[in-house]
Structures are given as C-alpha cells and as structure tokens.
Amino acid sequence: MSIGMPLLGDFFPEIEVVTTHGPMKLPQDMKGKWWVLFSHPADFTPVCTTEFVAFQKRLDQFRELGCELVGMSIDQVFAHIKWVEWIKKELGVTIEFPIIADHGPVANKLGLVHPGKGSNTVRAVFIIDPEGKLRLMIYYPQEIGRNMDEIVRAVKALKTSDANGVAIPADWPNNELIKDEVIVPPADTVVDAEQRSSQYECFDWWFCHKKL
C-alpha cells in the first residue's frame, strides 16, 4: 500500500480496526462526536508511556468537550493489553480509551510511517469533527513528547470557531494582545470596513476582536 496523508477538510478515511476495546469502524463509530486519534511509535517505551498517562489524566477534559480519544501504533493487541496492565500496576493509572493494533495498512493510509525511521509510527495527532472531517493534524518526531494541554485547547478552539463563526488568536484564551477575546472575520466590502470600528474593538478595520 502506498503511503499517503489525508488533507485538512477531507473526510477521515474509512477503516476497520482491532482495538483493546474490540473491533471498531472509523469514523462511523464516532459519528456525532469529536474525537482525537493519536499514534505513538511503540508500546513499552518511555516517552510514549508519559504521553498515555498524560492523555488519560485529561480524558475528563476531553469528554467535557464531547471528544473521545483513540490511540494507535503498529503493535499487536496483546502488547497493548500488557502495556496497559503495566501502566495500571506500576503507575496507578487506568487507561480507559481504546488503542488500535495496526499491522501497517492503517498507518500507511494515514501517512504515519516515516521511511527513514523504520516501521514505527510517528507521533501524529488527528482531530476529527462530528461529521467525520479531519480538522487538525500535528506531527511530532519520535524524540519529542506531545503537549496534551495544547490538544485540549485545539479541540476547544475548533468548537468555539465553528459555533461562533470567528477565528482564534495565538495562545487563546491567554493571548498577549486580546486576552480571551476572539477575532472577527475580515470585512469583505468597503462599507463593512468603514463600519467595523463602531461595531467592535479594532486595531484597524482588518483586525477586530470581541468577547464571546
């Protein structure tokens, strides 16, 4: 199978997978929900272990946003099960989300195998919306663990943008310029541009912001 990569805005490719919670059909089984699929290089590795603990400790935050988590790597399901058991026994953390056991086809379909890094999957994050569309992708090298708070923030930001028709500034909700406010879409007519400063707080007509 050729290595590919879905694009932002594409529907997530249909896949049937084996997981620690049984077989799943994606994205069908997550229809109507936001969900995060994240891949890790391998079970029983230090960085991946810290990530799984961090994801689990934020699971309630994701679920408050109506978002589920799904992990994945090119490991057999029994390895996932044993690793989850180890994490519970040695670290006192119970992993509650499913982990996909892939033997290659899914990783290839999603562009998760770097030719220069052997057969391990890269650290990728996909955020998929309730319609099954891919809304955000982040790729990390094997050597660098992810920031889970940023992934929580990204889900919240996407939902806020969709619900309010606005753009989200850097480091929101703690932006250096406009704090927790959001950015109003740019004017698309001369009249609209002239009226902007009377409708919103603006640095200029093309950079206006407001509270939600």
- Whether this prediction's pTM lies above 0.75 is answered by yes
Residue 212 amino acid letter? L
- Amino acid identity, residue 65? L
**Residue 160 burial (CB count, 10 A):** 16
Say how far apart CA 132 and CA 51 lie, in whole Å: 25
Nearest to 172 by CA among 187, 154, 188: 154
Of 48, 67, 202, 208, the catalytic one is 48
Question: What residue ranges do the domains of the chain occupy?
Answer: 15-163, 165-212
Same fold, 15-163 and 165-212: no
What CATH number labels 165-212? 3.30.1020.10
Tokens of 203: 């640095």
Instruction: Name which of 139, 155, 126 is nearest 61 in CA terms.
Output: 155
Active site residue 48: yes
Domain 15-163 has what CATH class? alpha beta
Residues 6+ apart with CB under 8 A from 44: 79, 83, 86
Q: pLDDT tens for the chain, 212 residues: list them.
A: 444 678 999 999 999 999 999 999 999 999 999 999 999 999 999 999 999 999 999 999 999 999 999 999 988 999 999 999 999 999 999 999 999 998 777 887 887 876 665 566 788 999 999 999 999 999 998 889 999 999 999 999 999 999 999 999 999 999 999 999 999 998 999 999 999 989 999 999 999 999 99
